[in-house]
Chain A
Amino acid sequence: MIMIEELHQKLVNKEISDRDLVESYFDIIEKKDSQIKAFLTLNKNEALAQATIVDRKIQQGEEIGLLTGIPFAAKDNMITEGIRTTAGSKILENYIGSYDAFVIQQLKKEGAILLGKTNLDEFAMGSSTENSAFFPTRNPYDLERVPGGSSGGSAAAVASGMVPFALGSDTGGSIRQPASFCGTVGFKPTYGAVSRLGLIAMASSLDVIGPLAQSVEDAEIVFKYIKGKDKMDSTSFDLPSTEKKDRPIKDLRIGIPEEYFGEGVDKEVKEKIKEVIEKIEKAGAKIEKINLANNSFALPCYYIIMPAEVSTNLARYDGIRYAPLSVKEGQVFNTLHDLYFKTRGLGFGREVRRRLVLGTYILSKGYYEAYYKKAQRVRRLLTQEWKAAFQKVDFIITPTTPTPAFKLGEKTNNPLSMYLSDIFTVGANIVGNPAINLKAGETKNKLPIGLQILGAHFSDYSLLSFAKKVERLISL
């Protein structure tokens, strides 16, 4: 697969014009996307116009940045000015963004070229992209299987070579789990390292934007351009520059939590991850077994905190400022009450409705202490437990998901079994740590197996630097 640096060199050396480059990617999209269905909206005219501007700059001998002229895709829960932004929901099917999300602003400033918006589970709620109100996306490795979710469109687009990189968002694993299923790199930064301005909110204390790419190096390049403090997001910050970035493997202590290799984890997944851990040990790292005793409570904790935040965040879709097209076709309501109830009933899909009701229940009088407050206390315990673990080890390695990609329809009738596919990823959201998925290898049936590396808060650069080394060891 071609890397960003390589494409940049080709542009600078005038081996290819940016217009041809952008067109070649649209050709791939045209060829593959009728089957994979990664995109909800394409931005072809504007993309080609921008490429022409880049070509002019190159012709005039202007110096261009690494991302100038490089095509990318963004998950459709990131607002794009003048381009439809649906969040995978009927209630926003007619919504055209009135400004660019912070991450889009940053990439546009660099001259990166948005090819289109990718499919997702409605409002990023799901682990398979089957909850999209429009259509499911398919896994490029096996069209009968899901690409994971909720950033399934972004993962499938990168994995099938339709874009060099894509942006995703991760609330409980929504970058790493689809990256694992599609065999790409997927990086979830420390909570707050990337501004959430213009990211359609799901659960605000958990949501993080990050890159999906073919290599750790590409993910790192993209991360450098999208990170940083933004005055419009008070939880955002600049990563401290004092951090030790590039330590040799032999100086590192790697923690392996046994809880992540127990019952329910696919045998091939277990074996492949252990194989990589052995390689890392041979390269000189010290491997230590660690214990995260309360970690099994991360998922139930998540399924209290997340729906609670969802039910408040989605109150804004009242049918007055946004509504599904089916309402636009001349529906008349007798009262405001009637409008709210009917529009939301028509506009939200089944999983969103389920989480709205669950979140409202959890926050209601008499249950708030027992559920929400309890989950917040468990959240602090988990945070303390992880902090203690990262005093003993530099990084933690686990499988990203218990199994490889499952089949379409396999889990749609049982929400709880769908939720369990995020069991290894949610911890990093509850605690806020950075985490990355790498392709560790493939099963006998040629499905990708994902390896997750977790780092301490604010260790994003060291984590990326270590991940590059692991990526090299895997390829040997």
Chain B
Amino acid sequence: MDFKGIDHLLELVHLELNEEEKGKISKDLAQILKYVSQLSKVDTKGVEPMNGGTFLENVMREDKLGKKEDKHNQLKKAAPSRQGDYFKTPPIV
């Protein structure tokens, strides 16, 4: 498995890693991918993919406004940077 693309992957994951860890993670991933690749031995011709779930019945609800709960004060507390009721971020570019 080619892992020259690790930088590209980290870009997609939004993760900063140092060089040592990049090396280690590439090695681990190669080992894990080799292990999971044994699935290619299973004949799945004509088998539909399955997402999961057990009780497969459509769930409907009325299009009605629910009770409004005032949770925003508690929610915003975990944010490292905020101004009033807003989350504060650095410039986008």
CB-CB contacts below 8 Å: B1-37 with A: 6, 9-10, 12-17, 21, 25, 28-29, 31-33, 35-37
User: Interface SS of chain A: helix, strand, loop or mixed?
Assistant: helix
Residue from B54, B87, B91, B92 whose CB has the most chain A CB atoms within 10 Å: B54
Knowing A321-B75, A345-B15, A354-B25 touch, does A339 contact B89 (C-beta < 8 A)? yes
List the A side residues contacting B69 at CB < 8 Å.
Answer: 99
List the A side residues contacting B65 at CB < 8 Å.
Answer: none
List the B side residues contacting A345 at CB < 8 Å.
Answer: 15-17
Question: For this complex, into which size category does the number of interface residues on chain A fall?
Answer: 35 or more
A335 at the interface (CB under 8 A from B): yes
Whole-angstrom distance between the Cβ of B9 and the nearest chain A Cβ:
5
Whole-angstrom distance between the Cβ of A181 and the nearest chain B Cβ:
23
Task: For the complex, count residues of B whose C-beta is within 8 A of A.
Answer: 52
A3 at the interface (CB under 8 A from B): no
Knowing A191-B53, A336-B90, A379-B50 touch, does A303 contact B79 (C-beta < 8 A)? no
Asked whether, in the complex, the Cβ of A98 is within 8 Å of the Cβ of B9, the reply is no
Knowing A340-B14, A353-B25 touch, does A415 contact B90 (C-beta < 8 A)? no
Asked whether, in the complex, the Cβ of B44 is within 8 Å of the Cβ of A96, the reply is no
List the B side residues contacting A205 at CB < 8 Å.
Answer: 51-53
Whole-angstrom distance between the Cβ of B11 and the nearest chain A Cβ:
9
Asked whether, in the complex, the Cβ of B9 is within 8 Å of the Cβ of A92, the reply is no
List the A side residues contacting B50 at CB < 8 Å.
Answer: 376-377, 379-380, 383
CB-CB contacts below 8 Å: A306-334 with B: 311, 315, 318-323, 327-328, 331-334
Asked whether, in the complex, the Cβ of A379 is within 8 Å of the Cβ of B35, the reply is no
Asked whether, in the complex, the Cβ of B16 is within 8 Å of the Cβ of A190, the reply is no
Q: How far is the CA of A331 from the CA of B16 in the complex (A)?
A: 16
**Of all chain A residues, which has the CB nearest B44?**
A377
Asked whether, in the complex, the Cβ of A328 is within 8 Å of the Cβ of B14, the reply is no
Asked whether, in the complex, the Cβ of B16 is within 8 Å of the Cβ of A320, the reply is no
What is the total of A-B residue contacts with beta carbons within 8 Å? 176
List the B side residues contacting A342 at CB < 8 Å.
Answer: 16
A145 at the interface (CB under 8 A from B): no
Asked whether, in the complex, the Cβ of B13 is within 8 Å of the Cβ of A320, the reply is no
B74 at the interface (CB under 8 A from A): yes
A361 touches which of B9, B55, B91 (Cβ 8 Å): B9
Residue from B14, B35, B44, B74 whose CB has the most chain A CB atoms within 10 Å: B14
Whole-angstrom distance between the Cβ of A417 and the nearest chain B Cβ:
10
A25 at the interface (CB under 8 A from B): no
List the B side residues contacting A338 at CB < 8 Å.
Answer: 90
> What 8 A-B pairs are tightest by C-beta distance, nearest first?
A205-B52, A376-B49, A345-B16, A98-B74, A377-B44, A380-B50, A237-B55, A341-B16
Name A residues whose Cβ lies closer than 8 Å to a Cβ of B.
81-82, 92, 94-99, 190-192, 205-206, 231, 234-235, 237, 294, 297, 300-301, 303-305, 311, 315, 318-323, 327-328, 331-336, 338-342, 344-345, 348, 350, 353-354, 356-358, 360-361, 364, 370-371, 373-381, 383, 415-416, 419, 432, 457-458
- Give 15 A-B contacts (CB < 8 Å), ordered by A residue: A190-B54, A234-B59, A297-B38, A301-B36, A335-B91, A336-B90, A348-B15, A353-B25, A374-B44, A376-B50, A377-B49, A377-B50, A381-B42, A383-B50, A458-B54
